[in-house]
Amino acid sequence: MDETSVGDPAGFDRSAVAAGVVLFGPDRARLTALLAAVETDVGKVFAVVNGRIDAELRAELRQRPRLGLIECPVNFGVATALNLLALAATLDGFPRLILFDQDSRPAEGLVARLGARFEELARAGRNPAVVGPLMVAPSRGAAYKSPRLFRRPPAGAGTEAGAAVAVDVLATSGSLIALEAFCRVGKFRDDYFIDAVDVEWCFRAWARGYSCWIDRDVTMIHTVGEGEIRIGPVATPRQKAFRMGAYVRNTIYGFRLGHVPARFKLRQAAYLPMQALLFWVDSGLRPSVAIGLGRAAWAGLRGRLGPPAGAPDV
């Protein structure tokens, strides 16, 4: 078998993989569908409840024999929740962890296919830290911003392995992580709280000798926010103001980090103001939104991170 071909997913040991889900006020039907899709594909599922959950749903989750529930009294943020999932899986002896949002919609066999790809990349000496699916926007319903594919330059033999392509960054949702690599790279930054958490971590992984990959043969429907705001080629997710503020703040703070390449900083420096302007226009040009985004940018410049203004506590 060619070293860059996909291994046999049927031969992949799915029991060596734990799944992790971050919950915050989840929709019961969507969460139930997610759990049904992944529980039989992994050794165990861990779920972090970030403060708020329906009492009946909590009781139902506690009854699921293959689910470990981690309950937080308040909203600690996505980054801390992801770190708790990685810690729980590591302490339980799992070498791999696949992460999902509470609204993720993985296709059947996703875990095994990503696992087989991960092993092929490792055998080929690519030292992967994480392998994820190609994210696609839903084909029906409201329009969502299609996730971007940040290919690792330069393109060529060193950044491709069959259908797998090396990328600068990829979303945490649907990503299969080697927990040994996670321990060496370090945890997600708790002070980022939410948004750009995955961006910073992936660049740190590259800086420490690991690689990040997307398997274009494996797709997963993915949505961010509540739709898309678009004017011509510029688009940004329609989302709550505190999330947009966190994105602006964390992106600007990332300009200070040495492990984030200059080419990525320049691209973001050009694109971020246009995204912020789109968000403000979509808000009806409300002065409070412009002030909030300005304060978020200033916080990023000063390195004032932590829970963003307006983030729900529970």
Which of the four pLDDT bands, split at 50, 70 and 90, describes residue 223? Answer: confident
Question: What pLDDT score does 154 carry?
Answer: 81
Report the b/e string of 180-203 with b at 16+ CB within 10 A.
ebbeebeebbbbbbbbbbbbbbbb
Question: What pLDDT score does 313 carry?
Answer: 83
pLDDT of 5 strictly over 60: no
- The domain ranges of the chain are 9-221, 228-302
pLDDT of 35 strictly over 90: yes
Closest C-alpha to 127, from 197, 206, 187, 198: 206
pTM: 0.93
Query: pLDDT of 132-189, one tens digit each?
Result: 999 988 876 556 666 778 999 886 667 888 899 999 999 999 999 999 999 999 999 9
Question: What pLDDT score does 20 carry?
Answer: 98
Residue scoring higher pLDDT (145 or 240): 240
Which of the four pLDDT bands, split at 50, 70 and 90, describes residue 46? Answer: very high
Interatomic CA distance for residues 293 and 123, integer angstroms:
46
Closest C-alpha to 213, from 145, 149, 142, 291: 149
Question: What pLDDT score does 1 carry?
Answer: 30
Query: pLDDT of 61-93, one tens digit each?
Result: 999 999 999 999 999 999 999 999 999 999 999
pLDDT of 248 strictly over 60: yes
Mean pLDDT of the chain: 91
| Number of Cβ atoms within 10 Å of the Cβ of 264 | 16
* CA–CA–CA angle 33, 108, 219 (5° rounding): 100
Cα–Cα distance list, 50 to 76, 261, 313 (Å): 6, 32, 9
Query: pLDDT of 100-111, one tens digit each?
Result: 999 888 988 999
- Any bridge partners for residue 131, and if so which? 176, 213
Q: Hey, which CATH number is domain 9-221, 3.40.50.1820, 3.30.9.10, 3.90.550.10, 3.30.70.100?
A: 3.90.550.10
pLDDT of 6 strictly over 60: no
pLDDT of 128 strictly over 90: yes
Across the range 9-37, mean pLDDT stands at 90
pLDDT of 234 strictly over 90: no
